[in-house]
Amino acid sequence: MESQNKAARLRELLEQPGVLTVPGCYDAFSALMVEKSGFSAAYMTGFGSSASVIGEPDAGLMDFTQMSTHAGNLASCIGIPLIADGDTGYGNAINVYRTVKTYAKLGVAAIHLEDQLAPKRCGHVQGKVLIPKAFEEAGADVIFLEAPRSLGEMRAAVEQINKPMLANMVEGGETPFLEEEDLQELGFKIGLYPVTLLLSVANTLAQQLSLMKKNDHSTIQKQQWTFQQLKDMVGFPGYHTMQEKYGSVE
């Protein structure tokens, strides 16, 4: 599905009743997993991208080239719409224009931009400084109010803003963690779960590495996918079909 079609598909999803639940993915493989699990859209998390690409905190350390390249890799491997973190747009208004245009060319269906002073930070950590902006008046399709600290603040935001609202659900973050039914009751349209998968994978990696250190590979293997499942997920069956059709160059 081309970028414009993915953007149109995302708009269709937002027009449907109920809350759109969007899992966060941090690399191409996790994006594939989100799609194969039946979700209608995926989200490229800035926190997860910083952790997986450079092993650093989400504190504005990944630049425009790194983030746009990463977004393009994720968007190109899935057929569902990808919402991607665009940080602050990487500069002034002209830079923001270039960022949005580049993300769109790379197949991203939607981008979110933050109103922070540089260096930007994850919205659920200390030290961020905001710049007041009228995103609703500027024509944003969805409003992403980051890190409200109570149900009252969340409800008031929905009542005061005349645009679809996105709730960012971070386990252990500043905002009360809610499931789809609760978000719908409050009036939110998108429920974003940016680090749910990364937190789960981190826990699994820690457990498996502990077992490997003990040389307990039998227990590890009982908790793994098979190698065939892994090959299927990344597309080897389709690759082999093409290889048989076109052959290899002698």
Our answer to whether residue 122 is catalytic in this structure is yes
Distance CA 139, CA 93 (A): 15
Catalytic pick among 25, 44, 122, 192: 122
d(CA 64, CA 102): 10
What stretches of the chain show up as alpha helix (H) in DSSP? 3-15, 28-36, 46-49, 64-76, 93-105, 135-138, 151-160, 180-186, 196-213, 217-222, 227-233, 236-246
Q: Give CA–CA dist 113/118, Å, rounded.
A: 13
Residue 63 contacts residue 98 (beta carbons within 8 Å)? no
**What does the angle CA 137 – CA 138 – CA 143 come to, to the nearest 5 degrees?**
80
Cβ count near 128 (within 10 Å): 18
What positions carry a catalytic annotation? 122
